């Protein structure tokens, strides 16, 4: 992980983000449920399978996968993200998740998994990382990445004020190009939409500060406190909206 996204590949950054990061949310009509339904509709069956979740984060997908799979290994660079994941897994009565604290480059496991799953992780930034992802799978790989990502409405003006470039995670096109170069048959499924995420004031302030610090800026907390008030709704929640264009790539291991 050596490109501009390397700032987003540190344990400290993701541990800092963990407190304000979205967590598992039950229900059949939220974003994660819809994405897994799309995978199933295109030939992916998680039931009874061994699954590797690469860059699992707080477990928004991991817990859903574990509700179907025989077992899920969740690898993430952040021990705090994995702590939250296991806390939420316990609340769901799940005992088939194995957390592994590691970056992807140094993840070492002799086991191969029937399905390898990776969603919007900055770990897969070069061909060696993509090759490793492919090599870990026995049957199928499901990859979800950005084709374009716009800054959230909360962060857009902050990036301008602090004169820093917003993060760019267009990781789906290089993954698709890698598959094409390897002549690996795959299904490409575009997904466009908008995330609408409610936060507490404290969580939103922490998220704004962490994003700015990761870009080398020193946030003025008084200014941030005034800035986020524009996103407070009548119920006292702070609403963040982020538009996205994604691509789900699914391929079989021959």
pLDDT digits (tens, 9 = 90+) for 158-204: 999 999 988 777 899 999 999 999 999 999 999 999 989 899 999 99
Q: Is the pLDDT of residue 4 over 60?
A: no
DSSP alpha helix (H) spans, 19-91: 31-41, 62-66, 79-91
Listed ranges 17-31, 148-162, 223-237; the one with the highest mean pLDDT: 223-237
- pLDDT 10s digits, 29-84: 999 999 999 999 999 999 999 999 999 999 999 999 999 999 999 999 999 999 99
Q: Is the pLDDT of residue 241 over 50?
A: yes
- pLDDT for position 106: 95
DSSP string, 139-203: EEEEEEEEEEEPPPHHHHHHHHHTT-PPP----HHHHHHHHHHTT--EEEEEEEEEEEEEE-HHH
Residue 3: what pLDDT?
A: 36
Domains and CATH numbers, the chain: 6-151+166-195+243-252 (3.40.50.150)
The chain-wide mean pLDDT, for the chain, equals 92
pTM to 2 decimal places: 0.86
Instruction: State the pLDDT at residue 245.
Output: 93
- C-alpha distances in Å from residue 38, one per residue of 2, 68, 132, 190, 242: 32, 15, 25, 11, 21
Average pLDDT over residues 105-120: 95
Higher-confidence residue of 115 and 14: namely: 115
Q: Give the percent of the chain with pLDDT over 90.
A: 80
pLDDT for 223 equals: 97
């Amino acid at each position: 992980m050596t490109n501009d996204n390397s700032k987003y590949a540190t344990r400290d950054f993701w541990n800092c983000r963990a407190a304000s990061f979205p967590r598992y949310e039950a229900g059949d009509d939220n974003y994660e449920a819809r994405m897994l339904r799309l995978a199933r509709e295109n030939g992916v069956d998680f039931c009874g399978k061994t699954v590797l979740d690469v860059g699992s984060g707080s477990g928004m997908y991991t817990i859903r996968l574990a509700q179907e799979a025989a077992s899920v290994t969740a690898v993430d660079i952040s021990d705090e993200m994995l702590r939250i994941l296991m806390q939420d897994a316990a609340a769901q009565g799940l005992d088939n998740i194995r957390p592994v604290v590691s970056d992807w480059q140094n993840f070492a496991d002799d086991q191969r998994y029937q399905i390898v799953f990776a969603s919007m992780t900055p770990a897969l930034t070069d061909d060696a990382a993509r090759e490793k992802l492919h090599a870990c799978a026995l049957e199928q790989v499901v990859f979800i990445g950005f084709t374009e990502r716009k800054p959230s409405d909360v962060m857009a003006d902050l990036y301008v004020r602090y004169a820093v470039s917003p993060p760019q995670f267009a990781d789906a096109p290089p993954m698709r190009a890698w598959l094409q170069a390897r002549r690996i048959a795959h299904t490409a499924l575009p997904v466009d939409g908008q995330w609408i995420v409610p936060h507490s004031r404290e969580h939103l302030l922490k998220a704004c500060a962490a994003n700015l610090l990761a870009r080398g800026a020193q946030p003025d907390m008084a200014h941030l406190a005034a800035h986020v008030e524009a996103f407070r709704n009548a119920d006292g929640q702070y609403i963040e909206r982020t538009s996205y264009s994604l691509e789900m790539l699914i391929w079989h291991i021959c």
